[in-house]
């Protein structure tokens, strides 16, 4: 026992010495005041109607070269590999590279165009969007060398009706069946036989026609989703496809160890002259699943050994590292930074907080700036004043006195006055938050701001794993909580009907505000029928303003994303999901 | 059994009782009359490590007790988000503007990144959280452990078997996983939906779950001690002379158990401080805004490169406290029972 003491003491001193040695640090510097950074801006997405941009090959990236292996570092394995099932980022970015669809997005600089991918153009409609005709390109093949034919696309769409793949995007099925319960109309090919020709018709090997009962002007965007990635009926392995999808893109799956690694190798049967979107620069991509964001930042910043050939895909800079990496001119070169299509809101549960004055007071008191600082300050994104994202078609900043002109620091005096006038001083607000170190601090900052304005805040910590599920229940017993939504394509069609149509309020649905206004519901129906995207966008923007008059949520930020790459990786850019555009990556040497 | 062995045993038993009981035997008078307690105190005072660690532990207790007074004199409190209220203290990504985590004449140990609370006040109030919970748990755990351990050892037979199996079962339950799963459920039972759990309720829940699993160590140790003690001649002698079980337990057994109990306590206090910190680290202990060392260390880990001081201060405080308490425990045992080590 006596002998143990000196060792213990020595080790304690050693530890303290290490701690103290590391205990000298420089002060902080403002890092986010770069005036040249890309602003959250109105999208410039256009549609390639005549097919001129749909012809391959894709334009070469400057200084690009072929060969080598790029490592991709990401926290977790893809949840799904079947394009019909997957509906999350960054999974879709990976699947879009290995499984081609009818249409997809071609990105050149800041210009994004929806072009034909397997099809020769983004879609042809002669009756205002009720029927859509696609002609397949010549020379398109699966990775096993067999040619892609139109009936495989039809089979893939039919397959997506099956309840086996209920997790996938519902849009095409809903529109074809003209019902939210599309599986009742047609249960998929396993039970329902072939999908009837009055919904999807195939003519020969090259032509496929989609027929809807009402105009669906957004169909070309929906055709870019995984449901149109072709599946030959003979090769449909049902659920097993979730491990081994049918591949047709420039890369195919070489090997896959679930939750550990994925290797994508060149697909020799992919013909670059048929593809105006993708490149095939590197020989292979090796995904390493597991590294947390802090580790990714450190490894890519150091770029030691093989890490110089590595890149992040979805999240790269931990909030506490911004100071360090953004003030280092060398590391800053390895970062790309852009606003996403997402909007972060603090949803107000309108079934519980029924008084408009209380909701207005919440909006006025909300300390956006203090809360945003917890998540990385300006790098988290610009302050939001609308419910829709600036990247949606037709979005425009509007003025609504008392709503869009609130002080981002929060105005406790003004909020207190609203509460006092309404006789609601001391109103109790249950603030639900995700119990992670960052969100916990964000909740503290918000609670402080609301308390100053005369609210009584009940802070409810929620387990990170079940946060979304608990919040998405109708009876969540909460008044105020974080909620985020990103459009599935750059129009309001997948935003306002999903979030603010009161008839869709149900357990597990994304409309966390439970907002239900007959006038707004009718407006949504009306706007969805508008066939011109620009006109529709303008109407959605007016709807945004109309909804905000009722303050069902506090618009918080338009989030940005920062991605990082090793010193030897070139061509880093964002794809349409604001995820690393893998097909543009190459090794500099 | 031969006679010589018997006699030796008898002498040994006599010595043990004489040494540890607080009643002076008065048989072999030393030059100056000193009780064993006085002797122990003298031995303790001569042990420099013991005295220093004792002072350190005392200091931590005083700081914890005097936290509101310190707050008053220092002029800061643990909850105010100074960095958010006053522009210029934090950078636009939430890092203290001044070097070394914002240490200056106003914020002696700097500012917490992002929220900008005062680190010194967080630490001082964090001592209260850690010590209060640890001491209450250790008190409960020791009380239960002593009662159950002595019962099992003294009664033996079926009672011992039953208690033994209960302890085995408790030890087989993965306690950390149990805390993680049980704490939210336990809290949900007592809290109306949509209401915040008050800090005292969280503390109570934490104390309860820690106590449920904590008593087994003390109980096992004491059962073993009692098993060996109850076969000794001085217990037989007490029994033969007609002493009640109550007297045997309280007057004959307990005085001999003071040393192992003290050892368990001094080991358990730092262990509970670290367990509590670990649970907060995992998110089931005390939550914001109750200041807590475990959570500070957890958050500090993220800032080891940008604001190392934010990890260093709570890390050092926990290290020094646990080390001092362990060393104090060693010294107390050396003082009470010098034979066991020399």
Residues of chain A with pLDDT under 50: 1-23, 35-36, 40, 42
pLDDT at position A18 is 44
CATH number assigned to the domain comprising residue A402: 3.10.105.10
Contact at 8 Å (CB) between B53 and B327? yes
Residue A202 dihedral angles phi and psi, to the nearest 5°: -110, 130
Distance CA B173, CA A274 (A): 61
In a domain, A376, yes or no: yes
pLDDT at position B14 is 44
Residues of chain B with pLDDT under 70: 1-31, 338-342
In a domain, A151, yes or no: no
Which residue from A450, A429, A446, A512 is spatially nearest to A476, judged by alpha carbons?
A512
In a domain, A350, yes or no: yes
pLDDT at position A34 is 53
pLDDT at position A19 is 43
- pLDDT tens digits, one per residue of A523-566: 999 998 888 888 888 999 999 999 999 999 999 999 999 999 99
β-sheet bridge partners, residue A218: none
Chain A residues close to B184, C-beta within 8 Å = 463
Q: Give the residue on B whose Cα is nearest the Cα of A16.
A: B316
Task: Say whether residue B88 is in contact with chain A using an 8 A CB cutoff.
Answer: no
User: Chain-centre distance of CA A301, in angstroms?
Assistant: 25
pLDDT at position A250 is 95
* Cα dihedral sign, A361-A362-A364-A367: positive
Chain B residues close to A374, C-beta within 8 Å = 94, 114-115
Using the beta-carbon criterion (under 8 Å), do A25 and B306 form an inter-chain contact? yes
Which residues, in sequence order, are CB contacts of B124 under 8 Å at separation 6+?
B63, B64, B67, B70, B71, B78
In a domain, A554, yes or no: yes
Distance CA A414, CA A31 (A): 31
Q: How many residues does chain A have?
A: 589
In a domain, A149, yes or no: no
Whether the pTM exceeds 0.90: the reply is no
What residue numbers bound the domain in which A467 lies? Answer: 342-560
Task: Say whether residue B339 is in contact with chain A using an 8 A CB cutoff.
Answer: no
SS3 content of chain A, % helix, strand, coil (to 5): 35, 20, 45
Number of domains in chain A: 1
Residue A362 C-alpha, separation from nearest chain B C-alpha, in angstroms: 17
Our CA dihedral for A300, A305, A311, A312, rounded to 10 degrees, sits at -50
Q: What is the CA radius of gyration of chain A?
A: 26
CA distances in angstroms from B103 to A499, B89, B112, B314, B316, listed in the order given:
47, 11, 10, 15, 16
Which residue among A5, A444, A459 places its CB closest to the CB of B196? Answer: A459
Distance CA A388, CA A493 (A): 11
Residue A565's Cβ-side half-sphere holds a number of Cα atoms within 13 Å equal to 25
β-sheet bridge partners, residue A528: none
In a domain, A112, yes or no: no
Q: Give the residue on B whose Cα is nearest the Cα of A430.
A: B194
pLDDT at position A552 is 94
Task: Say whether residue A435 is in contact with chain B using an 8 A CB cutoff.
Answer: yes
* Cα dihedral sign, B227-B229-B234-B239: negative
Task: Say whether residue A21 is in contact with chain B using an 8 A CB cutoff.
Answer: no
Contact at 8 Å (CB) between A275 and A55? no
Contact at 8 Å (CB) between A282 and A70? yes
Task: Say whether residue A445 is in contact with chain B using an 8 A CB cutoff.
Answer: yes
Which residue from B187, B117, B89, B95 is spatially nearest to A441, judged by alpha carbons?
B117
Which residue among A2, A367, A378 places its CB closest to the CB of B341? Answer: A2
Which residue among A33, A320, A377 places its CB closest to the CB of B303? Answer: A320
Q: How far apart are the first and last CA of chain A?
A: 60
CB pairs under 8 A between A and B: 152
Chain A residues close to B308, C-beta within 8 Å = 19, 22-25
- pLDDT tens digits, one per residue of A327-360: 888 998 999 998 888 899 999 999 999 999 999 9
Coil, strand or helix at A446 = helix
pLDDT at position A568 is 94
Tell the burial category of A365 from Cβ atoms under 10 Å away from its Cβ (0-12, 13-18, 19+): buried
ipTM of the prediction: 0.75
Residue A461 dihedral angles phi and psi, to the nearest 5°: -70, 140
pLDDT at position A37 is 55
User: Chain-centre distance of CA A555, in angstroms?
Assistant: 17
In a domain, A573, yes or no: no
Task: Say whether residue B316 is in contact with chain A using an 8 A CB cutoff.
Answer: yes
Our CA dihedral for A268, A274, A278, A280, rounded to 10 degrees, sits at 30
Distance CA A261, CA A567 (A): 22
Our CA dihedral for B16, B21, B24, B29, rounded to 10 degrees, sits at 20
In a domain, A396, yes or no: yes
Contact at 8 Å (CB) between A123 and A103? yes
């Amino acid at each position: 026992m006596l002998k143990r003491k000196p060792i213990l003491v020595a080790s304690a001193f050693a530890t303290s010495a290490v701690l103290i040695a590391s205990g000298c640090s420089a002060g902080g510097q403002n890092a986010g005041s770069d005036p040249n950074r890309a602003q959250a801006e109105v999208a410039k997405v256009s549609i390639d109607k005549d097919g001129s941009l749909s012809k391959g090959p894709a334009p070469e990236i400057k200084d690009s070269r072929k060969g080598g292996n790029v490592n991709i570092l990401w926290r977790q394995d893809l949840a799904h590999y079947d394009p019909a099932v997957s509906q999350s980022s960054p999974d879709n970015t990976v699947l879009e590279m290995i499984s081609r669809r009818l249409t997809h997005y071609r990105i050149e600089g800041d210009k994004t165009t929806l072009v034909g991918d397997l099809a020769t153009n983004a879609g042809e409609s002669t009756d205002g969007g009720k029927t859509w005709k696609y002609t397949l390109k010549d020379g398109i093949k699966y990775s096993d060398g067999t040619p892609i034919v139109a009936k495989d696309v039809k089979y893939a769409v039919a397959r997506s009706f099956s309840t086996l793949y209920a997790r996938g995007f519902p849009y095409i099925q809903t529109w074809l069946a003209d019902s939210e319960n599309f599986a009742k109309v047609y249960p998929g090919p396993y039970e329902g036989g072939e999908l009837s020709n009055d919904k999807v018709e195939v003519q020969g090997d090259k032509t496929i026609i989609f027929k809807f009962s009402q105009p669906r002007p957004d169909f070309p965007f929906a055709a870019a989703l995984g449901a149109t990635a072709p599946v030959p009926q003979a090769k449909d392995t049902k659920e097993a496809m979730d491990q081994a999808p049918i591949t047709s893109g420039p890369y195919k799956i070489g090997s896959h160890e679930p939750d550990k690694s994925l290797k994508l190798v060149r697909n020799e049967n992919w013909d670059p002259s048929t593809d105006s979107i993708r490149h095939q620069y590197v020989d292979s991509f090796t995904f390493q699943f597991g590294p947390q964001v802090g580790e990714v930042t450190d490894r890519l910043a150091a770029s030691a050994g093989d890490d110089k050939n590595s890149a992040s895909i979805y999240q790269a800079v931990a909030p506490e590292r911004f100071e360090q990496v953004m003030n280092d001119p060398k590391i800053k070169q390895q970062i790309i930074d852009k606003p996403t299509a997402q909007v972060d809101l603090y949803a107000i549960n309108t079934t519980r907080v029924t008084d408009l004055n209380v909701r207005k007071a919440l909006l006025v008191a909300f300390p956006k700036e203090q809360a945003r600082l917890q998540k990385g300050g300006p790098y988290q994104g610009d302050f939001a004043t609308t419910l829709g994202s600036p990247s949606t078609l037709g979005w425009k900043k509007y003025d609504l006195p008392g709503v869009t002109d609130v002080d981002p620091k929060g105005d406790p005096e003004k909020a207190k006055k609203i509460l006092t006038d309404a006789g609601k001083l001391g109103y109790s607000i249950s603030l639900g938050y995700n119990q992670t170190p960052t969100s916990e601090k964000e909740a503290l900052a918000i609670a402080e701001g609301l308390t100053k304005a005369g609210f009584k805040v009940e802070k409810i910590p929620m387990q990170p794993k079940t946060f979304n599920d608990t919040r998405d229940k109708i009876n969540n017993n909460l008044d105020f909580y974080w909620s985020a939504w990103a459009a599935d394509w750059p129009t309001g069609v997948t935003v306002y009907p999903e979030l603010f149509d009161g008839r869709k309020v149900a357990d597990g649905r994304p409309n966390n505000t439970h907002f239900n206004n007959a006038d707004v519901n009718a407006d949504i129906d009306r706007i969805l029928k508008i066939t011109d995207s620009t006109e529709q966008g303008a109407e959605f923007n007016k709807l945004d303003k109309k909804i905000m008059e009722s303050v069902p949520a506090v618009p918080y930020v338009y989030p940005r994303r920062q991605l990082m790459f090793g010193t030897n990786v070139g061509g880093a850019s964002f794809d349409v999901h604001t995820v690393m555009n893998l097909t543009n990556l190459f090794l500099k040497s | 059994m031969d006679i010589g062995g018997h006699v030796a045993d008898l002498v040994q038993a006599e010595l043990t009782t004489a040494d540890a009981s607080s009643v002076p035997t008065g048989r072999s008078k030393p030059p100056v009359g000193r009780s064993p307690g006085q002797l122990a105190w003298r031995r303790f005072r001569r042990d420099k490590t013991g005295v220093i660690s004792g002072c350190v532990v005392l200091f931590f207790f005083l700081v914890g007790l005097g936290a509101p007074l310190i707050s008053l004199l220092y002029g800061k409190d643990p909850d105010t988000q100074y960095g958010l209220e006053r522009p210029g203290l934090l950078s636009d990504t939430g890092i203290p503007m001044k070097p070394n985590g914002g240490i200056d004449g106003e914020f002696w140990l700097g500012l917490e990144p992002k929220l900008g609370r005062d680190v010194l006040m967080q630490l001082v109030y964090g001592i209260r959280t850690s010590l209060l919970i640890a001491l209450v748990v250790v008190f409960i755990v020791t009380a239960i452990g002593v009662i159950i351990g002595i019962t099992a050892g003294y009664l033996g037979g079926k009672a011992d078997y039953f208690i033994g199996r209960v302890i085995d079962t408790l030890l087989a339950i993965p306690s950390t996983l149990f805390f993680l799963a049980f704490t939210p459920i336990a809290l949900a039972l007592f809290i109306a939906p949509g209401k915040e759990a008050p800090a005292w309720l969280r503390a109570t829940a934490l104390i309860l779950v820690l106590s449920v699993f904590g008593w087994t160590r003390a109980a096992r140790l004491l059962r073993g001690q009692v098993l060996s003690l109850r076969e000794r001649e001085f217990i037989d002698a007490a029994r033969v002379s007609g002493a009640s079980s109550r007297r045997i337990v309280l007057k004959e057994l307990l005085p001999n158990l003071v040393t192992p109990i003290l050892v368990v306590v001094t080991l358990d206090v730092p262990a509970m401080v670290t367990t509590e910190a670990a649970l907060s680290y995992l998110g089931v202990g005390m939550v914001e805004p109750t200041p807590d060392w475990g959570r500070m260390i957890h958050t500090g880990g993220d800032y080891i490169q940008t604001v190392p001081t934010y990890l260093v201060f709570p890390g050092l405080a926990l290290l020094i406290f646990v080390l001092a308490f362990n060393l104090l425990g060693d010294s107390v045992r050396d003082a009470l029972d010098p034979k066991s080590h020399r």
